[in-house]
A and B are shown apart, each in its own frame.
Chain A
Amino acid sequence: MSNANTAHDHHDDHDHPMPTGFKRWFMSTNHKDIGTLYLIFSLSMLMLGGAFALVIRAELFQPGLQFIDPHFFNQMTTVHALVMVFGAVMPGFVGFANWMLPLMVGAPDMALPRMNNWSFWILPFAFLILILSFFVPGGAPASGWTLYAPLTIQGGMSVDMAIVAIHMMGISSIMGAINVIVTVLNMRAPGMTLMKMPMFVWTWLITAFLLIAVMPVFAGAVTMLLTDRHFGTAFFNPAGGGDPVLYQHIFWFFGHPEVYIMILPAFGIISHIIPTFARKPLFGYSSMVFATAAIAFLSFIVWAHHMFTVGMPLQGELFFMYATMLISVPTGVKVFNWVTTMWRGSMTFETPMLFSIGVVFLFTLGGLSGLMLAITPADFQYHDTYFVVAHFHYVLFSGAVMAMMGGAYFWLPKWTGHMYNEKLGKIHFWLTAISFNVTFFPQHFLGLAGMPRRYADYNPIFTEFNQWSSIGAFCLGLSQLLFIYIIVATVRGGKKATAQVWDEPEGLEWTVPSPAPFHTFDTPPTLK
């Protein structure tokens, strides 16, 4: 394996000097630089989306309207979610994929490097359009991130801007996903069979498949929206024989796999961290792979659990209830495997491990509330209340986002060559975990007691929990400033990291020096 170190030394026959300045950052064909761009973009979007969330939480601190009118509130909710989902979480994982996949499979770069760069650069422009929509008459889209017709048919120019922005994000994701699949399938080092691939590679392979399968469907949905708005078609208009619910079906056919797109790579990341800090191989590797595939398969046949109240035929409701419940089984397999990986390990609790334990614990909490949502008769009560909001922030923030934070601490030494400040990292974890729970745990109660979501205003009985939630949100936001500080400090300096960084971690990425040189694996490594 150690030939990897020398690999980059005698690649000089190839004229790839490390570019600088504009050429390096805007014209890159290097997976590491593009990965860095993605990660920076994702972090900025987390800030932006978080800032919108704080506007929501500020308005919800008390009943009555104190700061913003309901129309602007709806814009905040919509753009918060779009920015978080398409700007923070998805690009974040693509950033990890870019950095780590070639390192993990022993490839010199992503398979299609220029397309890789294009995938990235579309994103800032797509979000520019989305943000510009605040400044057109009527403001940004205000129909929720789901953009349900007919509400979006009423909307103004901003809806069209959101639609074209979504088309761009879709193009970006599809190209990114094609790149991942091709890299994984075509560029693995000799000897790395599919069932020897690291878990992160596996989860991303499956995620990429999901992306290619559902992003075009979403594009189709918003295209119909566009033609209904401007060209007189009647897809969602009953007068012409259409059905508003059709939009929901198409949207959620995309939307449900989308939520697994946002969690599977997270599963991959923590499947690397937990074995490293338990000093024990990942338990049940092959069942992990099959569970991931099973989740992906099931994700295509559960979409209508978001639509139990639209009045589907009974058989439909039953089918979607059963199918949804089934997803708990493979997900449970994953949880049990992680716990068993820890079992009788020799654990230490550095920041990445803390985040991973936090993810397993809190994601499961969110998963179990998801299971409650799947029970159709009960969902009639939970639906469109804060119980749902609590559910998906548990799986999204404490699942996806916290897994990315853990991954960032885990690989930061590899990326920068410096150790981060462990003490600050731990403080960051505890601040995040606690304030996260203060923010979102009370929302379960709010939802059960009857507070609907997407409400700018509420009855005073809900005040107390909302205040907890708002206070928590601001603390959560502030804690992330510490995260940024830690990252910046680590990039600028700190204790030198070794190639291995941790105690005998597994994987090719730990065989290259820290920081990983600009070019790695020009000649493929051989697996033992």
Chain B
Amino acid sequence: MLFSQRGRQAVKLSAVSAFLLSSLLGSLAKADYGLNFQTPVTGVARDIYDLHMLIFWICVAIFVGVFGVMFYSIFKHRKSKNYTPATFSHSTSVEVIWTVIPFLILVGMAIPATTVLIKMEDTTKSDLTIKITGYQWKWGYDYMDGSDISFYSTLSTPRTQIDQFNADTATEIGENYLLETDKALIVPSGRKVRALITANDVIHAWWIPAFGTKKDAIPGYINELWFNVDVGKEGVYRGNCAELCGKDHAYMPIVVQVVTGAEFDQWTAGGGQFNAQGFAKLSDSNEAPVVKEAVINEAVVTEATAAAVNTNAPVIETAESQGSSDLAESVVEAVIPAAQASEASMQDLLASGEKVYITQCAACHQATGSGMPGVFPAITASPIATGPTEPHIDIVLNGKPGTTMAAFRSRLSDDDLAAVVTYQRNALGNSVGDVVQAADVAAKR
């Protein structure tokens, strides 16, 4: 009944497909950021890019071939043109042909793919090793080859940009929204960097598109990847956590600053300082004032050995106590006298506690302390945070296995722990009135 329409429909169908195809081709021809892979800056990334384009064009060719035939048939062999149907229904020879040819095409794709894969997986002969640890929801970096630099990297996009629920309090979204961190990973160009990747709680994945690297960070196991950024491609590269790791999966970006080899050596020699933007500070190391921070960092290094997996088993606690964090303790003890000498005032503790709270705890317990019902308990009026100090210090030090509440014993110094506990007890709507000192925390370690 709708014969007259059929022609039009076929035209529409082909118009749509032509549109789709041409938009695809057109956009890839431009190959801008935003349509295709980011511009590769390592050899492997370039290989992947080329491989990707090769298989893409093969697929386009197959697609055009197959559907060229189909649409030809749709236009020509239609009842409205009184085309009488043929009756053939099988042919062994064509079946064989269209089994063998695709197979050969596949072999043609598999060869370059195998070559690239073998190259990617070869992590030997590296110049530098970095250990990368995924946490909910931040990254920890430890430089392994004796330089002992170690730090965490957290999202630095302000909460006001993220929370757009209420237009009055929200601020405008910035250019590097969700792709900026308080500290960048600093790596040299022209050297083969090997990364050992693991995680502390759930699976994450460390991904820098421009480097052509992506590997899962799996608790209890270590994965390896490597990259070697071309000389001349120094700059800042950004990536993401690419494995669902819970609520803030979208909020644990990766920022890598690539510097020249010389700059890198200078940076490591200076103890790995950062400027306010979170990039490498390449000034004279003698002037570096941040002794405390350096200590925190060293405490973190030892986590390489502690690395208790905060998943579900009760057995984990044994690991914590099995003395693998001796080093951490000795490092921390070295600074304790200084802390004990002057008991911190409530004001000081609250001030530094707030900072710690916002960076370490607010992702879960929320900036207001309200938590998220059923997922993260509220700190406000929490029985633990308003009860005796012992269990409070205990849960923050040791976490709670099987939940997202992580052990902060090796992530934070006694000072910071004391500060944040004091803060939780006397802010966020709580007013217990007592003060927890670094010594109290040290005593519970």
Chain A residues in the interface with B (C-beta under 8 A): 62-67, 69-71, 74, 136-139, 142-144, 148, 150-151, 153-154, 156, 228-229, 232, 234, 236-240, 243-245, 278-287, 309-311, 314, 317-318, 321-322, 325-326, 328-329, 332-333, 335-336, 339-340, 342-349, 354, 357, 360-361, 364-365, 368-369, 371-372, 375-378, 380-381, 383-385, 422-423, 426, 430, 433-434, 437, 441, 444-445, 448-450, 452, 454-462
Contacts and interface: CB of A to CB of B under 8 A. Distances in A.
Interface in B104-143: 106, 109-110, 113-114, 116-118, 120-121
A340 B311 contact: no
B34 A343 contact: no
A283 B152 CA distance: 62
Nearest to B97: A336
A449 B27 CA distance: 12
Contacts of B244: 74, 143-144, 148, 151, 384, 454
Given A139-B374, A283-B88, A348-B78, A378 B314 contact: no
A228 B311 CA distance: 10
Interface of B: 1-2, 5-6, 9-10, 12-13, 16-17, 20, 24, 27, 33-38, 47-48, 51-52, 55-56, 59, 62-63, 66-67, 69-70, 73-74, 77-80, 83-91, 94-95, 98-99, 102-103, 106, 109-110, 113-114, 116-118, 120-121, 161-165, 170, 173, 175-179, 201-203, 205, 207, 209, 212-216, 218-221, 223-224, 239-251, 308-309, 311-316, 319, 372-375, 402-404
B209 A142 contact: no
B83 A344 contact: yes
A384 B242 contact: yes
B374 A156 contact: yes
A154 B247 contact: no
Contacts of B110: 321-322, 325
A150 B2 contact: no
Contacts of B314: 232
A420 B84 CA distance: 27
Contacts of A380: 48, 120, 212-214
A43 B197 CA distance: 44
A136 B312 CA distance: 21
B20 A445 contact: no
Contact of B209 (A280, A369, A450): A450
A450 to B, nearest CB: 5
B77 A342 contact: yes
15 contacts: A69-B247, A154-B311, A236-B311, A240-B313, A243-B220, A244-B218, A329-B103, A333-B98, A348-B79, A364-B66, A376-B113, A377-B47, A423-B2, A441-B20, A452-B241
Contacts of B239: 450
Given A69-B247, A142-B247, A342-B70, 4 more contacts: A309-B243, A311-B224, A422-B1, A449-B35
B218 A310 contact: yes
Contacts of B87: 280-281
Contacts of A369: 59
A66 B248 CA distance: 16
Contacts of B170: 64
A383 B2 CA distance: 45
Which secondary structure dominates where chain A touches chain B? helix
Given A372-B52, A383-B242, A449 B38 contact: yes
Contacts of B246: 74, 142-143, 151, 154
Contacts of B250: 70, 452, 454-458
A64 B164 contact: yes
Given A380-B48, A381-B214, A357 B74 contact: yes
Contacts of A433: 16
A285 B90 contact: yes
- Going nearest first, the 5 A-B pairs with the smallest beta carbon separation are A238-B220, A137-B374, A138-B374, A64-B164, A311-B223
B102 A71 contact: no
Nearest to B372: A71
Contacts of B202: 150-151, 154
Contacts of A322: 110
A368 B90 contact: no
Contacts of B91: 284
Given A325-B109, A371-B59, A450-B240, A461 B33 contact: yes
B179 A321 contact: no
Nearest to A77: B244
Interface centre among A143, A361, A383, A444 (most CB of B within 10 A): A361
A66 B164 contact: yes
A452 B249 CA distance: 10
A70 B98 contact: no
A368 B62 contact: yes
Contacts of A376: 113, 117
B387 to A, nearest CB: 21
A342 B36 CA distance: 35
